[in-house]
Amino acid sequence: MFYEVWRAQFTQRKEIPEGTTTENIGVYKEIFSAKSSIDGQDGGIVTALLISGIRKGFFDSVIVVQRKGGYSAESFATDNADDIMAARGTKYLKVRVASKMRESISQGKGRIAIVCTPCEVRAARRILQNLKSDSSKQKVIIIGLFCFEAFNRAKLKEEVRIQLGIDLDKVDKIQIRNGKFKVFLDMKEYTCRVKDLDNAVEKECKYCDDFSGRLADVSIGAVGSRNGYSTVIVRSEVGRKLLQNLAFDKENTDKEEIIKISKLKEQRAKKNHCSLQPSTA
């Protein structure tokens, strides 16, 4: 169903989504690793794309997630490059982005870019599909972020205190890579296994089967790339154009690693869905 919605929206833009299709990654035109000159999360590619798009007039508003009040986060819309730079970095919390997109559309914004996790990518596609306004004038570019799971803020704060002995609200940066949860505070790194924080995972994440944001225009994440680089999955022609003329270092990515993590998430979702089925015994 979601792929039908996706194809319908591309057809409205006079674009047919074509490319390689795999069961776990979805449709894509190209996959590679990249690093921009921006000091952002991993390769800084998301921030570079947004700033480039604003400056070149590719879109006139972007919706991103910013850190607020300790380790909390909220989505906001901006057309300012400084705001985009200030919002860089993954927050690992569940934040409603699609609703902010709806709000921007209702305010008359015609060209919007949003950055969000796979569940919010799906929500955004639903909203766009159900628009009653003249959708031919609406241009929304969706940048999806790789996501295995997001955390509940209050529960994560408690688990980080137990596991690492530090206050989550005071951390400078968090990074998840290779099954490790890394916290940076006062120039020091604190690490535990992601599995050790399972009690803080949002419950609905355990039923989601999409790791790489299969319905986005461009999907970006760390898995499949070496440290300091981002994996980029170009899925649509609009996504390809967004990357045109953007300066970055480019190298091959480990596609099998993306497939591996995607399968793990799909298997977990299937198992959890099956556990909800009533017994026939």
Q: For the chain, what is the domain count?
A: 2
Instruction: Look at residue 2 in the predicted model and tell me its pLDDT.
Output: 52
Buried b (16+ CB within 10 A) or exposed e, 140-168: bbbbbbbbbbbbbbeebbebbeebbeeeb
Q: What is the pTM of this model?
A: 0.88
Structural domain contains residue 158: yes
pLDDT value for 18: 67
Note the residue count of the chain: 281
CA pair distance 114, 44, nearest whole angstrom = 16
CATH number at residue 182: 3.10.450.750
Strand partners for 234 = 30, 218
For the chain, the distance separating the N- and C-terminal CA atoms, rounded to the nearest angstrom, is 32
What integer pLDDT is reported at residue 35 of this predicted model? 94
Residue 281 is predicted with a pLDDT of 46
Chain CA centroid to CA 135, Å: 24
C-alpha 266/C-alpha 260 separation (Å) is 10
The answer on 87 and 158 residing in a single domain is no
Assigned domain for 62 exists:
yes
Token code pair at residue 29: 């035109």
Q: What is the pLDDT of residue 106?
A: 87
List, in order, residues 6 or more apart from 66 with CB less than 8 Å away. Answer: 73, 74, 75, 76, 83, 86, 87
Each of the 281 residues of the chain gets a pLDDT tens digit; together they read: 555 555 555 555 555 556 788 889 999 999 999 999 987 777 899 999 999 999 998 998 999 998 888 889 999 999 999 999 998 888 899 899 999 999 998 888 889 999 999 999 999 998 888 875 555 567 899 999 999 999 999 999 999 999 999 999 999 888 888 889 999 999 899 999 999 999 999 999 999 999 999 999 999 999 999 999 999 999 999 999 999 989 899 999 999 999 999 999 999 999 988 877 665 44
Residue 241, domain extent: 1-12+28-148+214-246
182 and 115 in one domain? no
Whether residue 232 sits in one domain with residue 101:
yes
Indicate if 173 and 142 belong to the same structural domain. no
Number of other residues whose CB lies within 10 A of the CB of residue 4: 9
Read off the tokens for 118: 């796979």
